[in-house]
A and B are shown apart, each in its own frame.
Chain A
């Protein structure tokens, strides 16, 4: 039962406020009364929820021309007239409080420069592929493949067969283009000029779908005939110099190609990039492809299919047709299921992780993280502004009081202070723009991938975004102070300025400081944890040695030839051959079949082709068996070396690895005998588990690497010797040799970049938070100087005073520590590090160090100011009253 004294439920506050906001004052009272009356009535008959709901609906429905308040032009006019005065007073107050103005402007400038960088970065990403005229109608076919073991892989590539089927059998598709990647060859223009060239095979539809303007040649026929070559302007210059390229012949290997077109250079912000195009017909003509079955349904790794749909196309129908196609074609496949889907072109750049991506792309979560980081830093600077302005409001309250007495309304004052903060943030924008220009070069230098991805060039649109950011930041920073000032009671402040309740908003300000410090602590902990993980990746025991090993890319040359040359260099002690370099992220897999009387098993294993020197050079540990004994020069291999995981996966032996020696497995339909079992080692990167891996024998790998063990400490001499040896073998391609350790570092480059970026943001966040704290401490000691003096006169000690003054701030820091550390710990422990199979534990030391760094800085700031205040001479302070 309700008692009469109990407060009756009220209509929703916001709906009422909305009504107050839009309704004409002369209609408001009656209207609100009517709605209240209905509300009370509905409360009894329909219950509280319906009553509130009806009230809200009514409040919205009464928004009609006759009830809406007319904009007060007078008000706007007054604002306009008063602008000069606002400028003048703002400038004066800026100059008067130099410290606080500096904190505000520097803080805003620094934080906004990060914002500018993020805006420029994202603007570039969103500008990708905008130059294609049909961009809204272009789609790509992407592939999902699922093996027997339920492992799925998402690919940006697909099969040529899918492309042909879509073109031939699908209704309602405008144009289909097939592309194939992987043409690397030396272009022989004349006897003297031989230039390595990377090209993409494409069919004639390619130039119809994409807008790559052709300067010379006929776009409709350029890619039609076999052995046609279409080059970009840049490539034409490289190949033929200033002479006319069209119609020239270029020799690749043994075949002559004719240049049938010259394209305008590809814009930087294009996800498809190429030096030259070769007609797809030329490839299909060469039957001598080693893989065979280029047109097989399962050949999904090198080809791309793009298509344009008409404006009115129904995507569901196309998808249904794709599903149907997959269902029929999958019947031919034994261990694989392939599904196709459409990906709109504007989704490609943020398309997520697809293997075999044709060009660049950028993970969406990272974009969000970037936005989040910038936002946090900017908000932190806004907090400083809010905090300091409200704290300093005493000085300006008299100005506001006088303004109000001469007739300023609440919203005039509100407008004035909002305008002031916008002016300040626009001033800060000028500084931050300079900072942005400096930051930009630093940022681009972080990783070569970044300068490949974006240009960060200025454009009018970008400048507009920058200005917009400044205005938004100004409004956000100035809103609370402006609200505070607009509510000042004129009479009260003019009678006694100190009666102003500056400290009424103390909780708000405390909360803002806590938030700032929480974020600072979270950032610094993240940086430290990230750095430790990164170091951990680099120094991780991979299960083999990578020290002093130089990997040389063969670029099509004979391993045996180079080996012979290198063997004569004294600094070289061991030379091995391998098809690929493990542990850097690239993988190479094949099916392994294991058959006994009872078992019939087959699964994917990772694979590397190596020679007999590879295992000793890398110090792989044998658990059983030996190195390769049969060393055929070509193809007739009979042996395989496996790791422990293979034995486990196929249940070849239960315990003793030695029992596995002599067992036979099938790889690519070749029976191979296990001759050695290696201790598990890392084939992939740290985010993958160790999986079944095998080594097969191959002494000649023109597409692979030479692994050279270098014994001397004198690297430059060794390197120049190798360089000279390379020159003898290959005069066209420059030597590509990298130390294994450097390659590993390169493979984890993204983490280094991430640590650097977050580290920089941390630095900014701490600086801004510290500046804010400093401002608050200065203000607090200034206002409490008299109190301090009296305390001193009454006998307080310096240390007692310092403690008394700083304990409030210390409490805030303590709260933020208690929030930040557990949150960061849980975040990393539960979410981030679980993504990595092998990672370092989160140490207590990182947490403690981060707290110490932040605290030490805060103590220094608080301590210096409180000490100054505590040491002031009470006689002087009290005399001035």
Chain B
């Protein structure tokens, strides 16, 4: 199943949810992504990705408490599951392994 592999944007969303800990819901994730990546994250895209991640079992969600904001609608908070953590770690390891085998890779002048 392709479920074990993370797409680039999926990985970003997953990382952001992990970073936001207890405050990870769609709008916050959007804002956070915007802040760190500098690109505008559309709600529609993030929403779809979160939905897919939940289908893959990388995150799980629960509804928060109703507040007066958002027209009285509850938020859906996301939490990275164990499988999610494994996937993140794995993808990080793959990258690091690859970095390591590049001989004398010089970043100077490339940025």
Q: Given A38-B27, A38-B43, A58-B43, A33–B71 Cβ distance below 8 Å?
A: yes
Contact B27 A31 (CB under 8 A): no
Within 8 A of B (CB), among A42-67: 58, 61-62, 64, 66
Decide if A185 is an interface residue (CB 8 Å cutoff).
no
Query: B73 is contacted by which of A33, A61, A62, A66 (Cβ under 8 Å)?
Result: A33
Q: Which of A30, A61, A66 has the most CB of B within 10 A?
A: A30
**10 tightest A-B CB contacts, nearest first:** A33-B73, A30-B76, A33-B70, A36-B71, A36-B70, A37-B70, A34-B26, A37-B27, A29-B73, A61-B44
Q: Which residues of B contact A31 (CB under 8 A)?
A: 47
Within 8 A of A (CB), among B61-77: 63, 69-71, 73-76
B48 at the interface (CB under 8 A from A): yes
B27 contact set on A, CB distance < 8 A: 34, 37-38
* Main SS class of interface, A: helix
Contact A66 B48 (CB under 8 A): yes
Q: How far is the CA of A658 from the CA of B27 in the complex (A)?
A: 96
* Contact (A36, B44) CB under 8 Å given A30-B26, A30-B63: no
Residues of A within 8 A of B (CB-CB), count: 17
Q: A40 at interface (Cβ–Cβ under 8 A)?
A: yes
> What distance in Å separates the Cβ of B40 from its nearest Cβ neighbour in chain A?
13
Is B70 in contact with A58, judged by CB distance below 8 angstroms? no
Q: Chain A residues in contact with chain B, CB under 8 A? A: 27, 29-38, 40, 58, 61-62, 64, 66
Query: Complex: how many Å from CA A35 to CA B70?
Result: 8
Taking the closest CB of chain B, its distance from the CB of A43, in whole angstroms, is 12
Expressed in whole angstroms, the minimum distance between the Cβ of B26 and any Cβ of chain A is: 5
B4 at the interface (CB under 8 A from A): no
Q: Would you call B51 an interface residue if the criterion is a C-beta within 8 Å of the partner chain's C-beta atoms? A: yes
> Is the Cβ of A33 less than 8 Å from the Cβ of B47?
no
**Contacts A29-B63, A66-B48, A66-B51; A34 near B71 (Cβ below 8 A):** no
**Which residues of chain B come closer than 8 Å to A40, judged between CB atoms?**
69-70
* Residues B51 and A62 in contact, CB atoms below 8 Å apart: no
Complex Cα–Cα for A183 and B44 (A)? 73
Indicate with 1 or 0, residue by residue over B64-92, a CB within 8 angstroms of chain A CB atoms. Answer: 00000111011110000000000000000
Q: How far is the CA of A35 from the CA of B43 in the complex (A)?
A: 9
19 A-B Cβ contacts within 8 A? A27-B51, A29-B73, A30-B25, A30-B26, A30-B75, A31-B47, A32-B73, A33-B70, A34-B26, A34-B47, A35-B43, A36-B71, A37-B69, A37-B70, A38-B27, A40-B69, A58-B44, A66-B48, A66-B51
Interface residues, chain B, CB within 8 Å of chain A? 25-27, 43-44, 47-48, 51-52, 63, 69-71, 73-76
Min Cβ gap B53→A in Å is: 12
A815: min CB distance to chain B, Å? 41
Known A-B contacts A38-B27, A58-B44, A62-B44; A30 and B73 likewise in contact (beta carbons under 8 Å)? yes
Known pairs A30-B63, A32-B71, A62-B44; list 17 more (Cβ under 8 Å).
Answer: A27-B51, A29-B63, A30-B25, A30-B26, A33-B70, A34-B26, A34-B43, A34-B47, A34-B70, A35-B43, A37-B69, A38-B27, A38-B43, A40-B70, A64-B48, A66-B51, A66-B52
Closest to A31 in B: B47
The answer for the CA separation of A27 and B26 in the assembled complex, in Å, is 12
What's the least CB distance linking B83 to chain A, in Å?
A: 20
Q: Which residues of A contact B44 (CB under 8 A)?
A: 58, 61-62, 64
Nearest-Cβ distance from residue A105 to partner chain B, whole angstroms: 47
Q: State whether B51 touches A36 (Cβ < 8 A).
A: no
Residues of the A chain whose Cβ atoms lie less than 8 Å from the Cβ of B26: 30, 34
User: Inside 8 A of B51's CB, which chain A residues have their CB?
Assistant: 27, 66
Nearest-Cβ distance from residue A812 to partner chain B, whole angstroms: 41
B residues less than 8 Å from A34 (CB atoms): 26-27, 43, 47, 70
Write the chain B residue with the least CB distance to A62: B44
What residue in chain B is nearest A38 (Cβ atoms)? Answer: B43
The answer for the CA separation of A66 and B63 in the assembled complex, in Å, is 19
How many whole Å from B93's CB to the nearest CB in chain A? Answer: 31
Contact among A33, A35, A38, A61 for B74, CB-based, below 8 A? A33
With a CB–CB cut-off of 8 A, which chain A residues contact B69?
A: 37, 40
Query: Closest Cβ of chain B: how far from A64's Cβ, in Å?
Result: 7
A35 to B30: give the CA distance in the assembly, Å. 13
Residue numbers in B under 8 Å from A38 (CB-CB): 27, 43
Write the nearest CB–CB distance from B15 to chain A, whole angstroms. 20
CB closest residue in chain A, given B31: A41
What are the residues of chain A within 8 A of B76 when measuring CB–CB? Answer: 29-30
Rounded to whole angstroms, the CA-CA distance of A125 and B48 in the bound complex is 52
Contact partners of B43 in chain A: CB under 8 A? 34-35, 38, 58
Determine the distance from Cα of A36 to Cα of B52 in the docked complex, in whole angstroms.
23
Q: A27: which B residues are within 8 A, CB to CB?
A: 51
Nearest CB in chain B to that of A39: its residue: B71
Tell me, in angstroms, the Cα distance from A64 to B45 when the chains sit together. Answer: 11
Contacts of A36 in B (CB 8 A): 70-71, 73
In the complex, the answer to whether A30 meets B74 with C-beta atoms within 8 Å is yes
CA distance A37 to B26 in the complex (A): 11
- Which of chain B's residues has its CB closest to A41's CB? B27
Chain A residues closer than 8 Å to B70, beta-carbon distance: 33-34, 36-37, 40
CB-CB < 8 A to A32: which residues of B?
71, 73
Contacts of A37 in B (CB 8 A): 27, 69-70
Min CB gap B23→A, angstroms: 14
Contacting residues, chain B, for A61 (C-beta < 8 A) = 44
Nearest Cβ on chain A to B76's Cβ, whole angstroms? 4
How many Å lie between the Cα of A62 and that of B47 in the bound state?
9
Chain A residue at minimal CB-CB distance from B51 = A66
CB distance from B65 to the nearest CB of A (A): 12
| Cα distance A38–B25 in the bound complex, in angstroms | 13
Kindly provide the distance from the CB of A673 to the nearest chain B CB, expressed in whole angstroms.
90
Give CA–CA (A31, B51) in the complex, Å: 11
- Give Cα A40–Cα B72 distance, bound, in whole angstroms: 13
Measured CA separation A34–B48 after assembly (Å): 13
Contact B48 A33 (CB under 8 A): no
CA distance A34 to B73 in the complex (A): 8
- Measured CA separation A66–B76 after assembly (Å): 17
Contacts of B73 in A (CB 8 A): 29-30, 32-33, 36
Question: A33: nearest residue on chain B (CB-CB)?
Answer: B73
Nearest B residue (CB) for A30: B76
Which residue of chain A has the shortest Cβ distance to B76 in the bound complex? A30
Once the chains are docked, how many angstroms separate the CA of A36 from the CA of B76?
Answer: 14
A27 and B47 CA atoms in complex are apart in Å by 10
- A36 and chain B: residue at smallest CB distance: B71
For the complex, give the distance between the alpha carbons of A23 and B110 in Å: 47
Expressed in whole angstroms, the minimum distance between the Cβ of B42 and any Cβ of chain A is: 9
Task: Name the A residues within 8 Å of B75 (CB-CB).
Answer: 30, 33
A contact residues around B47 at 8 Å (CB)? 31, 34, 62
Q: How far is the CA of A35 from the CA of B27 in the complex (A)?
A: 9
Chain A residues near B71 (CB-CB < 8 A): 32-33, 36
Residue of B nearest to A29 (CB): B73
- Once bound together, how far apart are the Cα atoms of A21 and B84, in whole Å? 33
A64 to B48, CA, bound (A): 9
Cα distance A454–B111 in the bound complex, in angstroms = 80
Distance (whole angstroms) from the CB of A274 to the closest CB of chain B = 64
Complex formed: what's the CA distance from A35 to B71 in Å?
10
Closest to A66 in B: B51
Cα-based distance from A27 to B25 in the complex (angstroms): 13
How far does the Cβ of B35 sit from chain A's closest Cβ, in whole Å?
15
From residue A48, how far is it (CB to closest CB) to chain B in Å?
16
The distance from the CB of B48 to the nearest CB of chain A, in whole angstroms, is: 7
CB-defined contacts of A58 to chain B, threshold 8 Å: 43-44
Residue of B nearest to A28 (CB): B73
Q: How far is the CA of A30 from the CA of B70 in the complex (A)?
A: 9
Is the CB–CB distance between A29 and B74 below 8 Å? yes
With a cutoff of 8 Å between Cβ atoms, the chain B residues found around residue A35 in the complex are 43
Question: Once the chains are docked, how many angstroms separate the CA of A40 from the CA of B51?
Answer: 24
CB-nearest residue of chain B relative to A8?
Answer: B71
Alpha-carbon gap, A519 to B70, bound state (A): 48
How far is B52's CA from A35's CA once the two chains are assembled, in angstroms? 19
**How far is the CB of A608 from the nearest CB of chain B, in Å?**
78
Chain B nearest CB, measured from A758 CB (Å): 53
* Residues of chain A contacted by B48 (CB below 8 angstroms): 64, 66
